[in-house]
Amino acid sequence: MPIPDYQTIMLPFLRSLGDQKEHSLYESVEGISNLYSLSVEERRKLLPSGKQTIIHNRIGWAKTYLGKAGLLESTRRGYFRITQRGLAVLKEDPNRIDVKYLERFSEFLEFRAIKRERKENKTQTTIVSSLDPKELLEDAYQRIKEKLAHDLMAEVMKSSDSFFEKLVVRLIVKMGYGGSIKDAGQAIGRTGDGGIDGIINEDKLGLDKVYVQAKKWTAKVSRPEIQKFIGALHERQASKGIFITTSGFTKEAEDCALKISSPKIVLIGGEKLIEYMIENDVGVSKEDSYEVKRIDLDFFAEE
């Protein structure tokens, strides 16, 4: 039997979680492989990169899509279980769960939203068959990046507060601030009161300081939190501050930060935090790279 695609896997995968117990991806790979009677060769067949089996990759995508639709949830690192919404879907006894089926859930639609110029009809749906190979490659890259961002945020939220502070340090240093990890690490978390979580050198010589507030929150940061941070900066006669959170900021909080010219405050919400982490290789590593080449017409130009 051929290895099933990730959409075909979705329904049996969700059914396997119907016992409402905690499961791991390893268990699911074994279970789905047995369900489809995959041979040893099929179970071991690798992606072109040679770094992961095809069945493991496809179940991973199925898990991500079902999770973004709210049908399953992560319980701890590497483990997950079905949600009440997932149980409700099973009670409907659908013949198939695929991307089209999941589009009934607003969270999934938000996850699937891709910012790109639309074709002549300006619709929100891209017809894959109408894309040329380069567009298909770019579309696939964007989807992989979206999945990476989702998985990266999930790992960040599972981390401890102290680990999150270290993560923030590493990110700021990788972005060119703080001198070295050692120097920055001695500064972060040293104050820990008055609305300040850390102090980072703006340059390698330490001629100026940037005060940091780092919050691993799910609720949006409100105006009072920003005002508290501003007050703490004034007390230290600081001119610059960064407020980093895994969630986001209310409009009132953003307006409050914008209206203050001194000290200058930069707000970094969860989406931007993950974007910076990916750009600066913090918490991620390069797996594959593909070179796309074109004809060099100048080479063939005859004088």
pLDDT, tens digit (0-9, with 9 covering 90-100), for 25-46? 999 999 999 999 999 999 999 8
Long-range contacts of 46-54 (CB under 8 A, 24+ apart): 49/287, 49/288, 51/287, 51/288, 53/29, 54/3
* C-alpha closest to that of 159 among 79, 220, 275, 76: 76
Token pair belonging to 143: 């989807």
Question: pLDDT band for position 291 (50/70/90)?
Answer: confident
What's the pLDDT tens digit per position in 83-125?
Answer: 999 999 999 999 999 999 999 999 998 887 743 333 444 444 4
| pLDDT recorded at residue 118 | 36
Whether the link from the prior residue into 2 is cis, omega within 30° of 0, is no
Assess contact for 22 and 75: CB atoms under 8 A. Answer: yes
| pLDDT recorded at residue 124 | 42
What's the pLDDT tens digit per position in 260-271?
Answer: 888 999 999 999
| pLDDT recorded at residue 132 | 59
Q: Which amino acid belongs to residue 189?
A: G
Which are the contacts of 60, defined by CB distance < 8 A and separation ≥ 6?
A: 25
Question: pLDDT band for position 187 (50/70/90)?
Answer: low
Percent of the chain surpassing pLDDT 90: 56
Question: pLDDT band for position 47 (50/70/90)?
Answer: confident
* 83/63 Cα distance (integer angstroms): 13
| DSSP codes, 2-18 | PPPPHHHHHHHHHHHTT
Span of 195-199, 242-246, 270-274 with lowest mean pLDDT: 195-199
* 257/170 Cα distance (integer angstroms): 24
| HSE-CB of 155 using CA atoms within 13 angstroms | 13
Question: pLDDT band for position 194 (50/70/90)?
Answer: low
